Amino acid sequence: MRGFILAALLLWTSTALAVEPGEMLADPKLEARARAISKELRCLVCQSESIDESEADLARDLRRVVRERITAGDSDAQVVEYLVQRYGNFVRMTPPLEAGTILLWFGPFWVLVIGGGLVYVTLRKARRPLPDVPLDPEEEAKLNAALGDPKE
C-alpha cells in the first residue's frame, strides 16, 4: 500500500519537477507569470504536455526563452507571440479559432456525428426483418427429407 501511495505522490508531483531550480526567476511575481505562460505553450517534442510539464531539452530551452523575454520587459501576449512567430500556432496548447485551425476545433465533432450516423444506419438495417419468402415445392421436399418429416 505504501508503494502505491509513493507512486501516486511521484506522479502527482512530477509536473512540478520539470522546472529546475536554476531556471526559476528570483522575483516570485515574474516567476508566476513565466509558469502561467509556460502552461499555455505546447512542448513540440512531447506534444501532449506543456513546456511547464515537459522535461525535454527543447521545452527547457523554451522555458528559458520565456523567462528571458519576461525579464526583458515583454508582456505575456508579446512572449506568446514571439514563440508563435517562430513555431506557429501549434506551440499553443489551445490554438486560436482561425481558418487554418477550424479543422482542429470542429473536426472531432464531425467525425463523431458522421460515425454515429453510420452506426445508426447500420443498426437499423441489421434490425429490419427479412421478408418471408415461401419455399418452392422442390425446396420444401428437400427440407422435409432433411428433417425426417413423414409427409415425404
Statement: the pTM of the whole predicted model exceeds 0.85: no
CA pseudo-torsion sign 13, 18, 20, 26: negative
pLDDT above 80: residue 149: no
CA dist., res. 126 & res. 97, Å (int): 40
The percent of residues above 70 in pLDDT, for the chain, comes to 86
Residue with cell 465533432: 109
Dihedral pair phi/psi, residue 74, rounded to 5°: -70, 150
Pair 39, 83: CB distance under 8 Å: no
Q: In this structure, what C-alpha cell is assigned to residue 36?
A: 502561467
Residue 79 is predicted with a pLDDT of 95
